[in-house]
Amino acid sequence: MKLIEGQLRVRTDKRVAIVSTRWNHFIVDRLVEGAKDAYARHGGNADELTHVLAPGAFELPMVIEQLLSSGKYDAVCALGAVIRGSTPHFDYVSAEATKGIATVSLKHKKPVSFGLLTTDTIEQAIERAGTKAGNKGFEAMTVVIEMLDLYAEIGA
């Protein structure tokens, strides 16, 4: 049986953007640093990344849509943090951002990683931004790197 899989190696012929939210920046800034670190550790030059700031998680899909529609980017690493509060706002924003990010990726047939934290507490978000639970920004960028390599391997 033939096995096709992506490797964690940056394809220097591919353009990658990071789209992060301005909201909850004290968490998201750590995710961005993790993503840049992952890109550099896997053979890329972090200076070649484009970083776009979206106001919040709800706007992530719209910004990603514009980037992929431009034809200038081959993949996007989406980063943000939605932290549950005392109203249903969390549920609406999390659900719509999740659906929107998936829809844009499928529409353009290009990798978009999901580095949007959806946590119940600030403590959980902090844990996922580089403490106990690792850095989800780092992980989201490794998904982009592997997916770009996988697409190249399958001829997409």
86 labelled as ligand-binding? yes
Give the chain's domain count.
1
| Percent over 90 (pLDDT), the chain | 94
Contact 28, 67 (CB under 8 A): no
Give residue-wise pLDDT tens across range 19-78. 999 999 999 999 999 999 999 999 999 999 999 999 999 999 999 999 999 999 999 999
pLDDT band at 151 (very low <50, low <70, confident <90, very high): very high
Residue 85 to residue 117: CA distance in whole angstroms: 14
Domain of 107?
A: 16-150
23 labelled as ligand-binding? yes
Q: What is the CATH number of the domain that holds 55?
A: 3.40.50.960
> Tokens 């998904």 belong to which residue?
143
Give residue-wise pLDDT tens across range 7-17. 999 999 999 99
Whether residue 57 lies inside any domain: the answer is: yes
DSSP state of 25: H
Residues forming a β-bridge with 19: 52, 78
Name the active-site residue from 25, 42, 51, 89. 89
Whether residue 2 lies inside any domain: the answer is: no
90 labelled as ligand-binding? no
98 labelled as ligand-binding? no
Is 89 a residue of the active site? yes
Q: What is the pLDDT of residue 117?
A: 98
* Residues near 74 by beta carbon (within 8 Å), at least 6 away in sequence: 14, 15, 16, 110, 111, 148
